[in-house]
Structure 1
Amino acid sequence: MNSSTASDGDHGSREGVAKDLAPGCTSDDIEEGARYVATVNGVVEYGVFVDLSEVVSGLVHESKLDSTYEIGDEIVVELVEIRENGDLGFEEVATDPDRVNRADIAHGDSARIGSLGDRTGDAVYLEGDVVQIKQTAGPTVFSIRDGTGIVPCAAFEAAGVRAYPDIELDDTVRVSGTVEAHDDAPQLEVETVSILDGEERETVRARVDEAVEAAATPTDPEPLIEWPAFDALREDLAAVARRLRRAVLEGRPIRVRHHADGDGMCAALPVQLALENLISEVHADPDAPRHLFKRLPSKAPYYEMEDVTRDLNFALEDEVRHGQRLPLLFMVDNGSTEEDTPAYRALAQYDIPILAVDHHHPDPDAVGPLLEEHVNPYLHGEDYRITTGMMCVELARMIDPSITDDLEHVPAVAGLADRSKADAMERYLELAESAGYDESALNDIVEALDYAAHWLRYSSGPNLISDALDLDCDDPERHAELVDFLASRARRDVEDQLENAEGHVEHERLDNGAHLYRLDVENHARRFTYPAPGKTTGELHDRKVTETGDPVITIGYGPDFSVLRSDGVRLDIPNMVTELQAELDGAGVSGGGHLVVGSIKFVPGARERVLDALVDKMESAELDADLRSTLLRDDG
C-alpha cells in the first residue's frame, strides 16, 4: 500500500491532511480510517456517491453528511468501512477541501530507475528531479533522475500539447505510471505527475544528492606505467573525472572542444568512449549518448570567438527546442592561455561550467577565475612533454576503467604526434608494442590522423578518426588498410610540398650559433591543401635538424602569420609574444603555444617589423643541446 503523506502546511496540523489519489489508484492504495479528497459523481436520496480515483468509488450515506452537494463538488471524506463485497463506506469530514493539506498518492509500488529494466508492465511511481523537458509532436517527455539512473517519462495530452505546464526543469516530482518498453529500453507511461515541496522535497533531494555523490566518485585504477612526474597530476585529473561523471548523472550535455591534431584527438576520443559508455549506463534512452555528448575540433590551439559563438548558439537552441540544460564545456589540448579568455567570458553570461586539460604553456592568472577545473603539467613544475593525450587516457580510465585494454597504445600515439621526448616515452612504446603496435605502426597512425584532421576541417569525423586510431574499431583489417592509405598519401603530399619549397628556403647562421631557416609559405608552398603551413614548417624543420645535427630554428611565414619551430635553442614563444605586443605598437601581435613551438599572428603591414624583432630575440636566446622540440604538428 502506498502511504505517502504531505508535510505540515500553512493550514493546520497533520490532522488536517487528506490524501489525494492519482487517477490510477486502486483499492490496494487505500486504508480504513484515512482521509481522502473525493469528487461527487452522483446524488441520491440516501446520500452521495464519490470518486477517489478512476477506479475507487463509494457511498457517503445521508446520515454521514453535514451538507448538501452537487455532482462535481469536492468533499473530504474518511474511509470508515471496506465491506466483504468490496463496497466502500465513507463519512464526511467537516473540512473545507480548499484548506486541506493534500498528500498526493501515486498508484503502484515505489521504484528506483535503475531497476525498471525488469519491470515492464508494472505500475510504479518514481521520485526525483526533472533534468529535461522535451515537447514532441506527441507526448511531453520528462526525463527524471533519482541517482540510480535517468528515465524518460511520456505524458500525453492532445498531440503536441504541453502536459503539466507548471512543471519546470529542476523541480522535484513524484511520477506514477506504467513501465513500458520503448526501443527496447524502459520508459514510464505517465499517469500523474505532482511537484513535491516542503519536507517531502527535501527528503527526496537529499536521497538523490547522496546517490549522485556516490556515483560521481571516479575509480582509481593503477596507472598504465610508473611515472613519478605524472603522479602530481592524478588528483587534478580525478577532480575532472568527478565533475564529468556528475554532469552525466545530472543529465547535463557535455561538449568537448579539442585541438584538431594528433595529441588532441588522442586526448578527446578516449574521454568520448568513456563518457558515452557512462551515459548509456545512466540513461534508459538509447539515443542519449548521441544527444548528450558532442566532440568538436578546433583548428587553433585556443578557443576562438568563432567557435564559442557557434557553440553558444547551438546550446541555446537545444535548450529551447529539446528542453536540455546548458552544457558543460570540456577543453582538451587547449584552453590554458590568455587568448581563451574572451570566449570564456562570453560563456560566463550563462550556466556553462568550463573544465580544461591542456599542456600548452598556461596563463593561470588569466584563465583560473573562469575555469572550474584546470589540469596542466606546468602548474606542477612539469612541462609539455606530458602530453594531453597521456593525461586524458588516465582520465578516461577514471571514468570507465573497463576500456583500459583498448587504450594501451594511445599514449604512445599522442607522444609521437607531439614528438614528446619525455623519459616515459620508452615505456609507453613498450606498452603499445605489447598490445600489438610497433613504433612503425604508431607513426603510421600519427600520419593518418594528421591527414584526416586536415580534410575534416571543422568536422569531428567520429567513425573515421576512431577507425584510424583503432579505438572502438570492430574491424582490424579496415583499420590497417585505412591507416596505410591515409599515411601514404600524407607522406606523398609532404614530399611534394618540400620538394617544391626547398629551393626557396632562406638560411643564415645566428650570432648564438643556431641555424635559422625561413620559408615564405604563402608564395612558395601550395595553399589550401595538405600539408598546411604549420605542417610544412614542421617537416622542413625536422629535415634541417637531421641534416645539421645542430641547434635549429625554422620560421614559416605568410602575410599575417608566422609558425615557429626550434630545437636546441631556449626559446619562450609565449613570452616573446608578450614582449612583441609591448614593443610593436600597431602590429596587432597575438599567438603563443609551447616554449619552442608556436605561432604568431600580426597585421600584414607589420610583417617585416615582427619578423625582424623575432630574429633579434632568437639571436639572444641561449643554446641547449639537450633541449629537443617535442611538439605539435599544428596546421597553422
Structure 2
Amino acid sequence: MGSCIICGTSVDGHICDLHEEDALFEFRGNSADQLNVGRYYRGNVDGFAEFGVFVDIGDSVTGLLHRSELDQRLDSLDWDAGDEVYVQVKNVRDNGNVDLGWSIRQAESEFRGVLVDDPDVGHSTLLEEDEDESGNADGDGATARSPDTDDEASDDTDDEADETDDTVSGTDDDAADASESGTATAAPEAGAVSQTGDADRVSEAGGTVGSNSDADESTETESASGDTAAVEADAEDGPTTVPVGALADHVGETVRLEGEVVGIRQTSGPTVFELQDESGTVDCAAFVEAGVRAYPDVDEGEFARLDGEVRERRGELQVETEALTVLDDDERDEVERRLADALDDEARPDAVEPLAEDDTVDALSADLVEAATEIRKAVLTERPVIVRHTNTADGYLAGSALERATLPLVTDQHRRTDAQYHYFDRRPLEGGVYDMDDATKDASQMLDNKERHDEALPLFVFVAAGGTRESLDGFDLLNVYGAPTVVVDDIEVDGAVTDAVDAVVSPSLADAPDTTATTLAANVAAHVNEDVRADLRHLPAVSFWEDAPGAYVDLASEAGYDAEAVAQLREAVALEAHYQSYEDKRELITDLVFGDDESDVGGLAGHVAEQFREKVDDEVATAVANLEYHTVEGADVAVLDTDAYSHQYEFPPETLLLDELHRSVRDEVDAVVGVDTDTLYVRTDADLDLHELVADVDEAVPEGGVTTRSVRDGSVRYLAGERDAVLDATLERLAEDL
C-alpha cells in the first residue's frame, strides 16, 4: 500500500485513478496490451508517414499519432526521428495497433510526477533516482513529485479531492472505505457527457454502477456481468424515457435513453458508451471492475436502450449505466428511423434563392436541396466529405465551390486545427470517369482509416464526373461498403447511375436546358452554406468557355470580374488543372479562384493565363496546319493525328487542344476528330449519342475492341492494330448525325 504522489490518497502503488492523467509514465513492458489506456507516456519519434507520426513507447511497442490528433499541420512539426515526445494512449486495438493522442504538455516539468509503468510489478512505481555528487538525479534525471515537495500541487489537489468525494458512486463513507481497502471504485476521468458537435469530449467520472451501496445484490451482479441480455425495466414501471438534450432537467434521477451506440472507450476504470439520439450525444459509464469491458457483446453502430442515473460533475452531465439492452427488429427500426428523420431535418437547408435567374436551376431546386442535405448531414455526423471532380477548369471550379461552402461548417463542427484537411478533401479524376482504379484507391484508404482510426466512411461527391455508365463499377465497389454517394453533373446521367447513388443533380433528369457543372455545384454550395454566397457569384460565368448566360455575366461583374478577368481566371484554372492533375492544389486554386485581385490583370490569374494562351495558340496553329479534311456523305470532317502533331504529355492535353481546335474551325467543318494510337476523340455541335456511335462502330469492326472511354471527353478506345478501320467506320457513322 502506498500514497498518491499528488493527493496523498492511500492506493496500491503511487498514483490514484483520479490523477493518472496528471502524471507521466515510462513503459517497461514488451507488448501493446500491457499499456494503460488514458495514461501519458514518454516516447521517441520512430518515423513519419502521410497520415501521422510513429512513436516508440518503451523498447518493444510502437504506436501511431494520427495527423487528426495533432494541434498543428503535420508538416509543421519540429520533430526529427529519435526526438523525445510525450503522447497519450487513446486505444489499443485487438490486432495490436496502438492509437496515440497529442499531449499539449511536451516537457517533463509540465507533468506532476514521473512514474514507471511496469507490468511485472502490477502497479505504478517511483522512477528510481541515483543522486550524483551534486545532489541531482542522474540516469534519466526524472523525479516523482509528492505533495510534500509541491505546495501548489497540494493546494490544487485538495479542491479536486473534495469534488471527487461528491461524484464517486455510493455514499461518502462507502467511497472512503473502498479507498482504504484498495478497491477500485473510481474511474480515471471517464464517463462525462458531451453535447453534439463537441469533438473534445472530456471523460470525467465513473465509479461503481448504481447510486446506493446496499442495492439489491442480484441487480448489482447482473449489471456488473456486462451481459447484453441485462434485465430491462418493465415498460410501465421502468424509468421515464427522456431525450439526451433534456438530461439537464433530470440530474439525480434514473432515466431511460434510446439511441445509437456511436462510440465505445475502455478506460482503466469503466467502459464508456457514447450514446446518440436525435437531440444530442452523452457518455455513459458502465463499471464491472477496473479496466474490464462491460457489456462486451455491445458493438458500435448498434441501437440500444440504456437505463442509468444522471449525474453532473464540473459542469458536465454524465450517466451511470444500470442496464443496457441492444434493440432489434421493430424496436431497432423505430429508433433508427427516428434518428434518421431528425438528422435529415437538422441537415436540410432552408430554401435559398438561386445565384441568378436560371430556368435550369429552378427546375432542379429539389435536387439541389437533396444534394446539399447529404453534404450537411455528413458534416454533422463527422463523416469526411470527399469531392471527386474532373481535372478540367469546370471540374476544379465546381469542386472549389463546394469546398468554399463546406470548410467553414467543418471548422465549426471540430476543434482540431487540421479538421479542414482531415474532414474534407478534393481528388481530381481523369476524364470524369470513376473507374475501378480510382474506386480501389478510395476504398482502400477509407477502410484503412476506419480500421486504424475508427473513422466513419466518407461521403463521396462526384462533380463534373461520374454521370455515365463507365463509372458504375466504381460506384458498385463503394456500395458494397455502404459509402454514400452524390453526383452533380451537367451531362446526361444514365439511369443506372441514378439507381446506384444516393442523390443526383443533372439537367437531364428534368429535361432542363444545358449548363455547366460549376453552375450546378455553386448553387448546391449556396444551399450548403448561404454565408459564402457572395464568394460564389463569379464562378458560373467563369465556367462557360463561350456564350455565358447574361445573368451570370452580370453577376460576375457585380463581384468585380469583367469579361477579361473572367477569361483569365478560366484559362488560369485550366492550365493549373493539367499539372499534377491528381492533386487538389487547394491553396493555389483558392488563391486563383477567390483571391483579392480578381480584376487585376497583373495578378496571379493574369500571369498564369498568359502562359495558357501562349501554349494553346502555338499548339492550335500547328494543328490547323496539319488537319486532314474528309467529306463523307456530304459531311465535312477535319481529322488531326494527335500523335504526330501535338506534344505528348505536355500542355495543352489532347482534350483541351481539340476543344480549342473545334472552336477555331467550326465554321468550316461539321466535326473535328482527333486520333492517336488507341484513342479517338469526337468534337461536334450536332446532337450525338457517343454510346450509340461506339456500338455501331464496334459492330462494323468487331475485332477492334471498340469501347467508350469517356462521354465527357468524347473519347473512344480501340485496339491500336485496328486504328485505320475504326477511323473509317467512325467517319461513316458520324456522317449520319451531321
What is the TM-score when the length of structure 2 is the normalising length?
Answer: 0.61
Is 2:707–2:717's contact at 8 Å kept on the other side of the alignment?
yes
How far off is 1:375 after superposition?
2.1
Counterpart of 2:525? Answer: 396
Counterpart of 1:501? Answer: 623
Counterpart of 1:225? Answer: 356
CA distance in 2, matches of 1:169, 1:231: 41
How far off is 1:28 after superposition?
7.2
What is the TM-score when the length of structure 1 is the normalising length?
Answer: 0.70
- Once the two structures are superposed, what CA deviation does each residue of 1:158-211 show, in whole Å capped at 9, x if it has no partner? xxx99989574335689989779xxxxxxx999988984369x98997885565
CA distance in 2, matches of 1:461, 1:162: 47
CA distance in 2, matches of 1:75, 1:179: 19
If asked which structure has higher relative contact order (CA below 8 Å, sep 6+), I would say 1
Equivalent residue letter for 1:561: T
> How large is the Cα RMSD of the aligned pairs?
4.7
SS in 2 for 1:586: helix
Counterpart of 1:485? Answer: 607
SS in 2 for 1:271: helix
Aligned match of 2:715 in 599, 608, 615?
Answer: 599
Counterpart of 1:427? Answer: 551
- What is the identity percentage for the equivalent residue pairs of Structure 1 and Structure 2? 27
Is 1:150–1:283's contact at 8 Å kept on the other side of the alignment?
no
Structure 1: 5+ residue stretches without partners:
1-22, 56-73, 80-89, 105-109, 116-125, 156-160, 181-187, 623-636
> Structure 1 stretch 94-103 or stretch 490-499: which is displaced more?
94-103
Counterpart of 2:694? Answer: 577
Task: Indicate how the Cα distance of structure 1 residues 128 and 503 shifts in structure 2: closer, same or farther if over 3 A, else same.
Answer: same
Task: Indicate how the Cα distance of structure 1 residues 43 and 274 shifts in structure 2: closer, same or farther if over 3 A, else same.
Answer: closer
Is 2:431–2:710's contact at 8 Å kept on the other side of the alignment?
no
How far off is 1:378 after superposition?
1.1
After TM superposition, the structure 1 = structure 2 runs for residues 533-552 of structure 1, keeping only pairs within 5 Å, are 533-545=654-666, 549-552=667-670
Task: Indicate how the Cα distance of structure 1 residues 280 and 189 shifts in structure 2: closer, same or farther if over 3 A, else same.
Answer: farther
SS in 1 for 2:716: strand
Is 1:467–1:479's contact at 8 Å kept on the other side of the alignment?
no
Task: Indicate how the Cα distance of structure 1 residues 94 and 558 shifts in structure 2: closer, same or farther if over 3 A, else same.
Answer: closer
Aligned match of 1:275 in 406, 410, 413?
Answer: 406
SS in 1 for 2:630: strand
Is 1:133–1:324's contact at 8 Å kept on the other side of the alignment?
no
Equivalent residue letter for 1:197: T
CA distance in 1, matches of 2:208, 2:606: 79
- Once the two structures are superposed, what CA deviation does each residue of 1:219-241 show, in whole Å capped at 9, x if it has no partner? 21111222223322111121111
Task: Indicate how the Cα distance of structure 1 residues 208 and 134 shifts in structure 2: closer, same or farther if over 3 A, else same.
Answer: same
1:590 aligns with 2:721: no
Counterpart of 1:628? Answer: none
CA distance in 2, matches of 1:96, 1:504: 89
1:621 aligns with 2:729: no
Is 1:302–1:334's contact at 8 Å kept on the other side of the alignment?
yes
Aligned match of 1:356 in 478, 483, 487?
Answer: 487
How far off is 1:523 after superposition?
1.4
Counterpart of 1:252? Answer: 383
Equivalent residue letter for 1:350: Y
How far off is 1:437 after superposition?
0.5
How far off is 1:571 after superposition?
3.0
Is 1:134–1:323's contact at 8 Å kept on the other side of the alignment?
no
Is 2:641–2:676's contact at 8 Å kept on the other side of the alignment?
yes
CA distance in 1, matches of 2:464, 2:487: 8
Is 1:146–1:208's contact at 8 Å kept on the other side of the alignment?
yes
Counterpart of 2:727? Answer: 611
Equivalent residue letter for 2:498: G
Structure 2: 5+ residue stretches without partners:
1-161, 189-206, 224-229, 234-242, 249-256
Task: Indicate how the Cα distance of structure 1 residues 28 and 523 shifts in structure 2: closer, same or farther if over 3 A, else same.
Answer: closer
Task: Indicate how the Cα distance of structure 1 residues 553 and 204 shifts in structure 2: closer, same or farther if over 3 A, else same.
Answer: closer
Is 2:485–2:502's contact at 8 Å kept on the other side of the alignment?
yes
Counterpart of 1:197? Answer: 325
Counterpart of 1:379? Answer: 509
Task: Indicate how the Cα distance of structure 1 residues 252 and 146 shifts in structure 2: closer, same or farther if over 3 A, else same.
Answer: same
CA distance in 2, matches of 1:92, 1:441: 77
After TM superposition, the structure 1 = structure 2 runs for residues 434-583 of structure 1, keeping only pairs within 5 Å, are 434-470=558-594, 473=595, 481-512=603-634, 514-545=635-666, 549-567=667-685, 569-583=686-700
Task: Indicate how the Cα distance of structure 1 residues 578 and 54 shifts in structure 2: closer, same or farther if over 3 A, else same.
Answer: closer
Is 2:389–2:462's contact at 8 Å kept on the other side of the alignment?
yes
CA distance in 2, matches of 1:76, 1:463: 51
Is 1:581–1:587's contact at 8 Å kept on the other side of the alignment?
yes
SS in 1 for 2:645: coil
Equivalent residue letter for 2:672: T
Task: Indicate how the Cα distance of structure 1 residues 39 and 335 shifts in structure 2: closer, same or farther if over 3 A, else same.
Answer: same
How far off is 1:552 after superposition?
2.9
CA distance in 2, matches of 1:249, 1:368: 25
How far off is 1:346 after superposition?
2.1
CA distance in 1, matches of 2:570, 2:285: 47
Task: Indicate how the Cα distance of structure 1 residues 78 and 153 shifts in structure 2: closer, same or farther if over 3 A, else same.
Answer: closer
Aligned match of 2:543 in 404, 414, 429?
Answer: 414
SS in 2 for 1:349: helix
CA distance in 1, matches of 2:650, 2:599: 28
Task: Indicate how the Cα distance of structure 1 residues 603 and 454 shifts in structure 2: closer, same or farther if over 3 A, else same.
Answer: same
Equivalent residue letter for 2:427: L
Task: Indicate how the Cα distance of structure 1 residues 38 and 525 shifts in structure 2: closer, same or farther if over 3 A, else same.
Answer: same
CA distance in 1, matches of 2:295, 2:484: 28
Counterpart of 2:460? Answer: 329
Equivalent residue letter for 1:447: E
Is 1:517–1:553's contact at 8 Å kept on the other side of the alignment?
yes
Task: Indicate how the Cα distance of structure 1 residues 135 and 272 shifts in structure 2: closer, same or farther if over 3 A, else same.
Answer: farther
How far off is 1:295 after superposition?
0.9
How far off is 1:522 after superposition?
0.7
Is 1:397–1:403's contact at 8 Å kept on the other side of the alignment?
yes
How far off is 1:479 after superposition?
9.5
CA distance in 2, matches of 1:621, 1:143: 61
- Once the two structures are superposed, what CA deviation does each residue of 1:562-616 show, in whole Å capped at 9, x if it has no partner? 121113x343323212322333213222226569x61111111121111111111
- Once the two structures are superposed, what CA deviation does each residue of 1:326-347 show, in whole Å capped at 9, x if it has no partner? 2222111111211111212222
Equivalent residue letter for 1:306: D
CA distance in 2, matches of 1:169, 1:260: 38
Is 2:364–2:510's contact at 8 Å kept on the other side of the alignment?
yes
CA distance in 1, matches of 2:647, 2:344: 54
Task: Indicate how the Cα distance of structure 1 residues 240 and 152 shifts in structure 2: closer, same or farther if over 3 A, else same.
Answer: farther
How far off is 1:212 after superposition?
2.2
> Structure 1 stretch 332-341 or stretch 399-408: which is displaced more?
332-341
Task: Indicate how the Cα distance of structure 1 residues 504 and 551 shifts in structure 2: closer, same or farther if over 3 A, else same.
Answer: closer
- Once the two structures are superposed, what CA deviation does each residue of 1:244-281 show, in whole Å capped at 9, x if it has no partner? 22222222222111111111122111112222222222
